[in-house]
Amino acid sequence: MYSIGEVSQMLGISAHTLRYYEKEKIILPDRNENGERIYHTNHVQWLQFVLKLKETQMPISKIKEYANLFTQGEQTSLARLKLLEEHKVSIENQLKTLEETNNILEKKISSYKDFIQKN
């Protein structure tokens, strides 16, 4: 079991972010007898997944939609699959754009190096 501070430190995010995720029902930590948030390993793993989705530009609204579907149970598996497949297409488009940009940058850098070396 982990406190909000421990999870915050483990994941490199603020306690404020964790409280926001709870407010948005992206994560639902347990509470102890004093009302303090208690996170378990499965919460941490879920948050790691959420952070990866965010890093790959999934909108918070889609993350909330996925979390909501997950809490509804197995009958939402098809909807969750569709949501993740759509996001995968988005990531593949990002990768293509990054690769194209990287190629342009390599050419530009090479051009500058050639120019500098000649002068």
Where is 25: in which H helix or E strand? none
- Residue 20, pLDDT > 90, answer yes
Q: What is the pLDDT of residues 43-80, one digit of tens each?
A: 999 999 999 999 999 999 999 999 999 999 999 999 99
CA distance 44 to 42: 5
Domains annotated on the chain, with CATH? 1-55 (1.10.1660.10)
Query: In degrees rounded to 5, what are phi and psi of residue 12?
Result: 70, 35
The pTM score is 0.82
pLDDT value for 119: 80
